[in-house]
Amino acid sequence: MFVIRLEHTIDGRIVGESEQEKARMAARQRAPLRPLTEAERQVLPKSMRATSERVDQRQRAHALLAVADGATFSTAACQAG
pLDDT in the model for residue 19: 46
pLDDT in tens, 20-71: 455 455 556 677 788 889 999 999 999 999 999 999 999 999 999 999 988 8
Rounded distance between C-alpha atoms, residue 3 and residue 50, angstroms: 46
**Number of structural domains the chain divides into:** 1
DSSP 4-65: -EEEEEETTEEEEEEHHHHHHTSPP-SSPPPPPPHHHHHHHHHHHH-TTS-HHHHHHHHHHH
Q: What is the DSSP letter of 77?
A: H
Does the pLDDT value for residue 17 go beyond 70? no
* Confidence (pTM): 0.61
Q: What is the per-residue pLDDT for 81? A: 85
Domain span at 42: 5-80
